[in-house]
């Protein structure tokens, strides 16, 4: 059963939402040890045959099964967190069958290979969702098309997630853990991640404080390029260690927090002259070594002339704390290269 949601203007802050979610979880678990029967979304939504509890997502309060058995993820992020918590979703968006190392760590590919798919995260197949008979659905609602949220809520309770802004992925991950009754486990994973991030922040304090970075990638047909700002889902571990990002120049910003820049022509790559360190996407090595090799403007960028161009970590779209901790280990290697070059 989904309760009426508050308007965006009346919504509490994300931190308050998480606090309320945690408090609700403790109260309910302390009062009841009942478990859900997992007999299907309609029965769970009606409160028949299963215990429910109230959790808080980005839109307000929602009643979910006390122990959901059949979870469908119509977003890109929640499956990794679920796997880390020992839960396998019964439906995921397309792409999890790919073993491309730049998409996600291999263990998630292995865990989710063969899981039924329900369309793309930006183009769902609602009928395929219903066929999985879920008792809980996770969705990043900014990607849902008109009317899809209501249709999903007619199938099962929907926990609405968000991924925009610095640290939003952490709050989202905690919310997922709370929604399935595993707050204690996800908080332990969060503590491990935060401890490692602080270690790297201290280890590379000088190079991080003295340099501005630009994380960039190429666009369609390698004829355009763009950069990722703080808060974008492509750079969470850089945010976690306190990296300073170059500011967007005129004509780059889309006016949305954490959004990738406008995709610009190669003739405009000189805009990267305000970055001390250039980090190209893990899969963009050919773009740098071949496409940009004879670009005079590129070769005259300060970072290029100073040898401060490095490959970013693989699977940088961190979707869980365990994934993030693994990404921090990869980042340690990149930062070691940067630090060594800066000291030479």
Structure confidence by residue, pLDDT tens digits, 148-186: 999 999 999 999 998 777 888 999 999 999 999 999 999
pLDDT at 129: 97
Structure confidence by residue, pLDDT tens digits, 35-75: 333 344 444 444 444 799 999 999 999 999 999 999 999 99
pLDDT at 102: 81
Structure confidence by residue, pLDDT tens digits, 67-102: 999 999 999 899 999 999 999 999 999 987 777 878
For the entire predicted model, the pTM comes to 0.83
Please state the rounded mean pLDDT for residues 135-158. 95
Identify which of 39, 32, 255 has the alpha carbon closest to the alpha carbon of residue 164: 255
The pLDDT mean for the chain works out to 86
pLDDT at 16: 39
Asked if pLDDT for residue 291 goes beyond 50, the answer is yes
Rounded CA-CA distance 143/141 in Å is 5
Rounded CA-CA distance 161/101 in Å is 25
pLDDT at 334: 98
Identify which of 22, 109, 75 has the alpha carbon closest to the alpha carbon of residue 323: 109
Residues in the chain: 344
SS3 assignment for the chain = CCCCCCCHHHCCCHHHHHHHHHHHHHHHHHHCCCCCCCCCHHHHHCCCCCCEEEEEECCEEEEEECCCCCEEECCCCHHHHHHHCCCCCCEECCCCCCCCCCCCCHHHHHHHCCCCECEECCEECHHHHHHCCCCEEEEEHHHCCCCHHHHHHCCCCEEEECCCCCCHHHHHHHHHHHHCCCHHHHHHHHHHHHHHHHHHHHHCHHHHHHCEEEEEEECHHHCEEEEECCCCCCCHHHHHCCCEECCCCCCCCCCCCCCCCCCEEHHHHHHHHHCCEEEECCCCHHHHHHHCCCCHHHHCCHHHHCCCEEECCCCCCCCCHHHHHHHHHHHHHHHHHHHHHHHC
b or e along 314-339 (b: 16 or more beta carbons within 10 Å of the residue's beta carbon)?
Answer: bbbbbbbbbbbbbbbebbbebbeebe
More confident residue, 97 or 298: 298
Identify which of 38, 124, 127 has the alpha carbon closest to the alpha carbon of residue 74: 124
Give the best-scoring range by mean pLDDT among 10-14, 47-51, 228-232, 336-340: 336-340
Q: Is 4 exposed, middle or buried (0-12, 13-18, 19+ CB in 10 A)?
A: exposed
More confident residue, 211 or 27: 211
Least confident of 92-96, 147-151, 330-334, 335-339: 92-96
Structure confidence by residue, pLDDT tens digits, 224-271: 999 999 989 899 999 999 999 999 999 898 777 778 899 999 999 999
pLDDT at 135: 97
Collect contacts of 6-13 with beta carbons under 8 A, ≥24 apart: 6/59, 6/60, 11/58, 11/59, 11/60
Tell me the pLDDT band of 215, cut-offs 50, 70 and 90.
very high
């Amino acid at each position: 059963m989904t309760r009426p949601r508050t308007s965006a203007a009346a919504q509490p802050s994300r931190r308050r939402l998480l606090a309320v979610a945690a408090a609700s979880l403790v109260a309910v678990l302390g009062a009841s040890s009942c478990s859900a029967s997992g007999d299907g979304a309609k029965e769970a939504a009606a409160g028949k045959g299963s215990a429910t509890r109230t959790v808080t997502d980005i839109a307000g309060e929602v009643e979910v099964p006390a122990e959901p058995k059949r979870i469908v993820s119509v977003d890109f992020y929640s499956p990794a967190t679920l796997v880390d918590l020992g839960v396998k979703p019964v439906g995921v968006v397309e792409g999890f069958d790919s073993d491309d190392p730049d998409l996600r760590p291999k263990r998630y590919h292995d865990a989710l290979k063969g899981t039924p798919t329900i369309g793309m995260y930006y183009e769902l197949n609602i009928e395929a969702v219903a066929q999985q008979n879920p008792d809980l659905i996770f969705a990043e609602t900014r990607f849902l098309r008109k009317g899809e949220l209501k249709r999903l809520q007619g199938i099962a309770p929907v926990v609405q997630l968000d991924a925009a802004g610095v640290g939003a992925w952490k709050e989202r991950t905690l919310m997922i853990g709370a929604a399935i009754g595993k707050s204690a486990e996800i908080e332990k994973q969060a503590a491990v991640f935060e401890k490692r991030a602080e270690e790297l922040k201290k280890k590379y304090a000088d190079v991080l404080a003295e340099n501005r970075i630009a994380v960039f990638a190429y666009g369609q047909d390698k004829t355009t390029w763009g950069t990722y700002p703080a808060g974008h889902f492509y750079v969470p571990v850089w945010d976690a260690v306190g990296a300073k990002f170059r500011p967007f120049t005129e004509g780059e910003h889309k006016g949305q927090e954490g959004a990738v820049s406008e995709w610009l022509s190669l003739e405009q790559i000189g805009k990267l002259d305000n970055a001390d360190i250039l980090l190209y996407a893990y899969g963009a090595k050919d773009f740098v070594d071949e496409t940009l090799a004879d670009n005079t403007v590129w070769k005259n960028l300060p970072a290029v002339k100073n040898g401060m161009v490095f490959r970013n970590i693989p699977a940088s779209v961190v979707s869980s704390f365990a994934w993030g901790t693994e990404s921090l280990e990869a980042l340690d290697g990149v930062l070691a290269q940067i630090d060594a070059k800066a000291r030479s």
